[in-house]
Amino acid sequence: MTMLLKDVMFLDGSMDSARSGDILIEDGKISSVEKAGSLIGDDVVDGKGRMAVLPGFVNCHTHAAMSLLRGLGEERPLKEWLEEQIWPVEANLNPERIYWGTRSALMEMASSGTTCFGDMYFEMDKVAEAAKACGMRAGICRGIVGDDESKIEESLALADRYKDDPMVTVQMGPHAPYTVPLDAMKKIASSAKDNGMSVHLHYLEAEWELGYLKDEFGTGAMEYLEKTGLCDVSGLILAHCVWFPEDGLSDLSRVPATVVHNPGSNLKLGSGVAPVSSMLSKGVSVALGTDGAASNNRLDMWGELRTATLIHKGVLRDPSIVTAKEILDGATYKGYRALGFEKAGLIREGWKADLVLVDLDGPNYIGVNEDNLGVFLVYAGSSSDVAGTMVDGSWIYINGEFPGQDEEEVLSNARKARAELIRR
């Protein structure tokens, strides 16, 4: 059974301009890309030149089940927000609540074009189960706080369980330097290195964290990564890096690391603006994420695309920096690569058919063409333009519906879980 996306404009982060043509999908992969009208398929979606196809978005750093905590502790600083509002409620989470909170979050993501997400939370087997029920790819890590070796063992068991699963990758997930003792961080890094695992952590999200590294460990930003052995793991995912010193970015670029830019969450929590323009110019890999719905409060990658391009232009007073092309690449290919998924995030023959179908018939796309599609999508587009979201060649969202899912069941159980959390 083949699927043909006929007469569409397609674009990925490696392309300077879009192309028009046909895309044939077979066995979960893009089997052929040719000029419009040259391919045939069993199931045909005719774009008639008014549909765009992009690689699926990767929400590279989030906490999906925090969709149940949305709206709590609003407009407070990060540390106060976490310690006084979020952590006490999280203590009442259980596997079932995390499952349904994740299911509802993935519906929200799928409807806006996300095909893969990087999640750090609890009960990660339930998160993986939710991802499979939705049909979405997931990079998962069990959040580790304190010096608890059982959580390292739990992470290793999780990695072993999903080692042959094409839909799930597993990372080590130390929460942050300020919640994980130095010796514990070293153990996590060593274990990750020995087992070929990446490490995903929050890093320098708030300004005070730089002082914490100096006072507690006698290090700067780069020195901490070196001292703990995090520089030596196979892959390092650094969420935020709002306060990573610019003079250390050249050194960071030589490490197999990806910074996940979360502009919406960083702005809302008053954390600041990450030096993404300098990161890109120094060769640091930058992906994109929303963070959790409790801090953003959206799980909409379109909002992050637009914010990520605009905020840096405004702060640095330079309209030429942090381009639409760079951010599209970060929101797709760079995210897949960071989470360990190969041959995903570009529209190429033999690559995974994780795609987003975008309706270009709206008034916001008048004037769109192959040369300007990227800037139209980033600056004028929105999640309301998404007609379909495909993972592994199958629709997980199409024409307002979620094939294979009972939307009311998911939302009803998520509402119940939220009510139970807030009542306590």
Q: Are residues 210 and 315 in the same domain?
A: yes
Binding-site residue positions for Zn(2+): 61, 63, 202, 291
Q: Which amino acid is at 174?
A: P
- Structural domain containing residue 48: 2-56+351-398
β-bridge partners, 236: 199, 257
Q: Are residues 14 and 97 in the same domain?
A: no
Q: Can you give the CATH number for the domain in which 285 is found? A: 3.20.20.140
pLDDT in tens, the chain (424 residues): 999 999 999 999 999 999 999 999 999 999 999 999 999 999 999 999 999 999 999 999 999 999 999 999 899 888 888 888 888 988 889 999 999 999 999 999 999 999 999 999 999 999 999 999 999 999 999 999 999 899 999 999 999 999 999 999 999 999 999 999 999 999 999 999 999 999 999 999 999 999 999 999 999 999 999 999 999 999 999 999 999 999 999 999 999 999 999 999 999 999 999 999 999 999 999 999 999 999 999 999 999 999 999 999 999 999 999 999 999 999 999 999 999 999 999 999 999 999 999 999 999 999 999 999 999 999 999 999 999 999 999 999 999 999 999 999 999 999 999 999 987 5
Bridge-based pairing state of the strands 2-10 and 43-46: parallel
Q: Are residues 32 and 75 in the same domain?
A: no
Instruction: Indicate the number of domains in the chain.
Output: 2
| 331 touches 255 (CB < 8 A) | no
| Beta carbons within 8 Å of 344's beta carbon, 6+ residues apart | 55, 116, 137, 333, 336, 351, 352, 354
Backbone angles phi, psi at 199, to 5 degrees: -125, 135
- Domain-embedded: residue 132: yes
Q: Can you give the CATH number for the domain in which 14 is found? A: 2.30.40.10
Q: Are residues 271 and 306 in the same domain?
A: yes
Q: Are residues 262 and 310 in the same domain?
A: yes
For residues 263 and 327, give the distance between their C-alpha atoms in angstroms, rounded to a whole number.
12
Bridge-based pairing state of the strands 29-34 and 257-261: unpaired
Q: Are residues 360 and 248 in the same domain?
A: no
Binding-site residue positions: 61, 63, 90, 142, 175, 202, 205, 291
Binding-site residue positions for substrate: 90, 142, 175, 205, 291
Q: Are residues 69 and 160 in the same domain?
A: yes
Q: Are residues 302 and 255 in the same domain?
A: yes
Q: Are residues 99 and 114 in the same domain?
A: yes
- Domain-embedded: residue 32: yes
Q: Are residues 220 and 369 in the same domain?
A: no
Q: Are residues 150 and 198 in the same domain?
A: yes
Q: Are residues 37 and 89 in the same domain?
A: no
- Domain-embedded: residue 421: no
- Domain-embedded: residue 51: yes
Helices (H), 359-401: 373-380
Sheet containing 257-261: give its strands across: 199-203, 236-240, 257-261, 285-288
- Domain-embedded: residue 415: no
